[in-house]
Amino acid sequence: AAFIGPEVIPAYSSRSDLPFTVMGGIKLDHVLSLKGLGAKRLAVVTALTTAEDIAGETRRWIKAISQD
């Protein structure tokens, strides 16, 4: 399958009321730009499971996702 990048998020979010999840290689510094493109659901795996301090990393993600 071909890679679909973040540039398609506005097209998907404007064409359907169905929820979709953005996933794959998401880093903490991507959160604001992805939200700005219309992403409402992010699947974050590697960034959390490979963190030395999983609880602390999770708190940082929650804070970033909660920002407007």
Residue 40 lies in a domain: yes
Residue 1 lies in a domain: no
Q: Check pLDDT > 90 for residue 1.
A: no
Angle at 47 between CA 54 and CA 26, to 5 degrees: 145
Residue-wise pLDDT tens digits, 27-45: 999 999 999 999 999 999 9
Q: Which domain holds residue 57?
A: 6-66
Say how many domains are in the chain: 1
CA distance 4 to 55: 30
Q: Which pair of structure tokens corresponds to residue 32?
A: 């604001």
Query: Using alpha carbons only, how large is the chain's radius of gyration in Å?
Result: 13
Q: Check pLDDT > 80 for residue 18.
A: yes
Where is average pLDDT lowest: 1-5, 36-40, 41-45, 64-68?
1-5
Say which DSSP state 28 is in: G
Residue 36 lies in a domain: yes
Q: Which helix (H) or strand (E) holds 36?
A: helix 31-36
